[in-house]
Amino acid sequence: MFEAVIGLEIHAQLLTESKIFCGCSTRFGDPPNTNVCPVCLGLPGALPVLNRRAVEFAVRAGHALSCTVHETSIFARKNYFYPDLPKGYQISQYERPIATAGFIEYPAQAGVRRVGITRVHLEEDAGKSLHEGFPDSDQKTYLDFNRSGVPLIEIVSEPDLRSAAEAGEFFSRLRAILVAIGVNDGNMEEGSLRCDANVSVRPAGTAQFGTKTEVKNLNSFRYVQRALEYEIDRQIGVLRGGGRVVQETRLWDTGAGKTMSMRSKEEAHDYRYFPEPDVPPLTVDPAWIERIRESMPELPEARRRRFIEQYALPEYDAALLTQSPALAAYFEETAAAASNPKAASNWIMGDVLRKMNELGTGIEGVPLKPSALAGLIRLIDLGTITGPIAKEVFEKMWGSSRTAGDIVAAEGLARIDDDAAVEKAVRDVIAANEGAAAQYRAGKQQTFGFLVGQVMKATKGKANPALVNQMMRRILDTEL
Ligand SMILES: [Zn+2]
């Protein structure tokens, strides 16, 4: 038996307006090479000036990942040549990153899972090489420097993950945290969140690590899982066949569904890191670090636990409702206004999310306001309307400005609680279904539900179901 040992390196683009060392915009999707200046084009003599907001975001991430945030960190030059790196080096942090030694914790099947965070460091992104999409793409590569100098944090995990599924779960938790603290938009399609993985395998139960490979280009949760599953199997196959895993960088090929060798250890870059002479050591005021800590929003895991305690929600509801800060807020507003958290949860997880998915929007695009949904829940709890009618009212409220109360009043949908009216409806149904009534009296209990259903149908769902049941039973059991 073999076990996998996995650590992730995640690059997250920080949501600053401007780049890390110049005032150029970080906006995605602008025409190529329109957000550039001498600094981010690496022109001779241009000097970088550090973006304070980028530092603040890195500190936030450090706090959220329970790291030690350092008052002093040092930028370094990482030297390598690539056409989309005009300076010939990337400014990064190396030996003295801004935050180290953290962790994240979350519930898993075998209890609480804790995954170590080795470090968080600040760096600048490179430009983008465009290898396709042009008539002469078979001969030329085009370069877009809009991304050059966009601020990133690189988050390196400890090799604490033991399967592809665990790695996928960890990545998704990390993404939720970064989005919740407002430092990253979580958009993997646009490349603002990217993941590489270090993977090795070893006989289960041994302490020594096997030779690792680095798998790059894992730009979706699905690819992280599929690429790691493939790579783990590949390495186990090599070892079972009596071979040795070669330390190398491999690229996940989405189309082929496999990892391909990109470069071996011998070809690995020697980046010749040295302290960046153009950016002085970064020193941050401890009081500022503390102020940032105090301004941190509630993290997804803390919110999930609070939902279970404060609202007495089941684990499932709490996990689902805390998937995004906006959804959690929608729930909290509804629950508070309705004074019925579980009913609010049921409506949101069921009908609201269903309609939202039909619209193809997020919770922000849902036309039904929490206060309106709460109004509907209150009418049910007060006994003003029945369950089936509530569904009907919900459909009518969606996309309309009418309240549940308005709709019920205008369309005569209030519950029928009047004994005489319900009794008449019950007697009518029994008279019209003598066969079913006789079967019930002869001991066939199932027809009872059918008869009640007929009454609900006849009253268009408005009859008080408890009253119908009670009346139906009394008449069938005591009269012939
Ligand atoms: Zn610039």
- How many CA atoms are closer than 13 Å to the CA of 204, on its beta-carbon side? 5
Tell how far the Cα of 146 is from the centroid of ligand 1, in angstroms.
Answer: 8
Question: In angstroms, rounded to a whole number, what is the distance separating the alpha carbons of residues 457 and 446?
Answer: 17
Each residue's pLDDT tens digit, 440-463: 888 888 888 898 888 888 888 888
Name the phi and psi angles at 423, rounded to 5.
Answer: -60, -40
Q: What one-character-per-residue DSSP string does 225-254 give?
A: HHHHHHHHHHHHHHHHTT--PPPEEEEEET
Tell how far the Cα of 204 is from the centroid of ligand 1, in angstroms.
Answer: 50
**Nearest Cα residue to 320 out of 292, 350, 276:** 350
- Whole-number pLDDT of residue 330: 96
Question: In angstroms, rounded to a whole number, what is the distance separating the alpha carbons of residues 423 and 470?
Answer: 10
Tell how far the Cα of 21 is from the centroid of ligand 1, in angstroms.
Answer: 7
Tell how far the Cα of 39 is from the centroid of ligand 1, in angstroms.
Answer: 5
In eight-state DSSP terms, residue 363 is G
Tell how far the Cα of 86 is from the centroid of ligand 1, in angstroms.
Answer: 12
- Whole-number pLDDT of residue 336: 93
- Whole-number pLDDT of residue 440: 86
- Total length of the chain: 480
Instruction: Tell me if residue 367 falls in helix, strand or coil.
Output: coil
- Whole-number pLDDT of residue 468: 87
Tell how far the Cα of 58 is from the centroid of ligand 1, in angstroms.
Answer: 20
Tell how far the Cα of 194 is from the centroid of ligand 1, in angstroms.
Answer: 22
- Whole-number pLDDT of residue 73: 96
In eight-state DSSP terms, residue 66 is T
Tell how far the Cα of 31 is from the centroid of ligand 1, in angstroms.
Answer: 15
Tell how far the Cα of 73 is from the centroid of ligand 1, in angstroms.
Answer: 23
Residues 6+ apart with CB under 8 A from 109: none
- Whole-number pLDDT of residue 76: 96
Tell how far the Cα of 392 is from the centroid of ligand 1, in angstroms.
Answer: 56
Longest dimension (CA), the chain: 103
Tell how far the Cα of 84 is from the centroid of ligand 1, in angstroms.
Answer: 14
Give the burial class of 63: count Cβ atoms within 10 A of its Cβ; 0-12 exposed, 13-18 middle, 19 or more buried.
buried
- Whole-number pLDDT of residue 473: 86
Tell how far the Cα of 48 is from the centroid of ligand 1, in angstroms.
Answer: 9
Tell how far the Cα of 125 is from the centroid of ligand 1, in angstroms.
Answer: 12
Question: In angstroms, rounded to a whole number, what is the distance separating the alpha carbons of residues 325 and 173?
Answer: 13
- Whole-number pLDDT of residue 404: 80
Tell how far the Cα of 477 is from the centroid of ligand 1, in angstroms.
Answer: 85
Tell how far the Cα of 51 is from the centroid of ligand 1, in angstroms.
Answer: 12
Tell how far the Cα of 36 is from the centroid of ligand 1, in angstroms.
Answer: 4
307: enclosing H helix or E strand: helix 300-311
Question: In angstroms, rounded to a whole number, what is the distance separating the alpha carbons of residues 347 and 395?
Answer: 12
Tell how far the Cα of 34 is from the centroid of ligand 1, in angstroms.
Answer: 10
Tell how far the Cα of 233 is from the centroid of ligand 1, in angstroms.
Answer: 44
Residue at token pair 């019950």: 426
Tell how far the Cα of 35 is from the centroid of ligand 1, in angstroms.
Answer: 7
Question: In angstroms, rounded to a whole number, what is the distance separating the alpha carbons of residues 412 and 231?
Answer: 64
Question: In angstroms, rounded to a whole number, what is the distance separating the alpha carbons of residues 468 and 422?
Answer: 6
> Quick count: other Cβ atoms within 10 Å of Cβ 74?
19
In the structure, ligand 1 is a single-atom ion and the residues with CB under 5 Å from it are: 22, 24, 37, 39-40
CA distances from residue 119 to 9, 59, 93 in whole angstroms, order as listed:
10, 12, 10
Tell how far the Cα of 64 is from the centroid of ligand 1, in angstroms.
Answer: 29
Q: What is the pLDDT along the chain (480 residues), one digit of tens a residue?
A: 899 999 999 999 999 999 999 999 999 889 999 999 999 999 999 999 999 999 999 999 999 999 999 999 999 999 998 899 999 999 999 999 999 999 999 887 778 889 999 999 999 999 999 888 889 989 999 999 999 999 999 999 999 999 999 999 899 899 989 998 999 998 888 889 999 999 999 988 888 888 999 998 788 888 889 999 999 999 999 998 888 888 888 988 888 888 888 877 666 678 899 999 999 999 999 999 999 999 999 998 899 999 999 999 998 999 899 888 889 999 999 999 999 999 999 999 999 999 999 888 888 888 889 998 998 899 888 888 888 888 888 888 888 888 887 887 777 777 787 888 888 888 888 888 888 888 888 888 888 889 888 888 888 888 888 888 888 888 888 876
- Whole-number pLDDT of residue 265: 65
Tell how far the Cα of 285 is from the centroid of ligand 1, in angstroms.
Answer: 27
- Whole-number pLDDT of residue 266: 63
Tell how far the Cα of 213 is from the centroid of ligand 1, in angstroms.
Answer: 35
Instruction: Tell me if residue 144 falls in helix, strand or coil.
Output: strand
Both tokens assigned to 70: 């350092």
Give the burial class of 76: count Cβ atoms within 10 A of its Cβ; 0-12 exposed, 13-18 middle, 19 or more buried.
buried
Each residue's pLDDT tens digit, 181-231: 999 998 888 889 999 999 999 988 888 888 999 998 788 888 889 999 999
CA distances from residue 273 to 96, 123, 449 in whole angstroms, order as listed:
12, 13, 77
